[in-house]
Amino acid sequence: MKKTLVFGMTVGLGLVMGGGLQAGESAPGFVDLFNGKDLTGWVNVNTDPDTWSVKDGVLICTGQPIGVMRSEKQYENFVLHIEWMHMEAGGNSGVFLWSNAEPGDNRLPNGIEVQMLELDWVKLNTRDGKVPPIAYVHGEVFGVGGVEIVPDTPRGKRSKSIENRCKGKGEWNTYDVVAVDGVVKLAVNGKFVNGIRGSSQKKGYLCLESEGKEIHFRNIRLMELPPGVTTPEQIAPVLE
């Protein structure tokens, strides 16, 4: 992650939180959610044993079958840094925030999905002569599984990026996600371009999505922030 982006996030959040640390307090910092060696810290929810693997410091997802892997613990307010790269044209994946990590009818959980699509997805999914909007692949953010949100830049019930910044297959993309008190802001490759607010679920698991084609992940880091005022109805159930 670029130092300028981390510094800007930290300073801005510090001002929002009241401008300064108390005696004996330490500043929040990033921790690695993926150690680059194995799947420690992650739980396979409904994919095959060989869907997820690690090689040369990279987390590899085959894309088969459709499903997710979740974090061991729940998170409420945080900054997430994640890098991803599709290996095939039209690849489909995403990261779920504040998720219940329980498979639904389509094998995917609820939560806030931050979309990760390869650029050719729109061309490969033309229906009735209509090509989906290119903005769809550049980090759409939306509620799934009954989670309600208010989009910053509406495309129906979803929020689309205001600038197209994703790179195609074989190239690494960087997402920086600020998730605070039901508000999500997404930076794609170094610039904030999308967001939502008013999420009906504000605490839950992180999930990585397997959805059809191979995708790689690396440098998954998270900085936890102070909790907010969250009611039981806004928290995903805790899983054993």
What pLDDT is attached to residue 12?
Answer: 44
Assigned domain for 237 exists = no
Residue 118: HSE in the Cβ half-sphere, 13 Å Cα cutoff: 23
Assigned domain for 220 exists = yes
Assigned domain for 89 exists = yes
Assigned domain for 234 exists = no
CA distance 153 to 147: 17
Q: Range with the lowest mean pLDDT among 33-42, 75-84, 117-126, 197-206? A: 117-126
What CATH number is associated with residue 213? 2.60.120.560
Amino acid in position 233: E
Instruction: Name the pTM for this structure.
Output: 0.89
CA distance 215 to 85: 6
Q: State the residue range of the domain holding 184.
A: 3-226
- Please state the domain count of the chain: 1
| 80: phi then psi, degrees, rounded to nearest 5 | -115, 130
Q: Range with the lowest mean pLDDT among 23-27, 99-103, 109-113, 127-131? A: 23-27
SS3 at position 220? strand
What pLDDT is attached to residue 20?
Answer: 61
pLDDT digits (tens, 9 = 90+) for 55-77: 999 999 999 999 999 999 999 99
**Taking 70 as the threshold, does the pLDDT of residue 100 lie above it?**
yes
User: pLDDT-derived band of residue 14, with 50, 70 and 90 as boundaries?
Assistant: very low
Assigned domain for 137 exists = yes
What pLDDT is attached to residue 26?
Answer: 65
Assigned domain for 235 exists = no
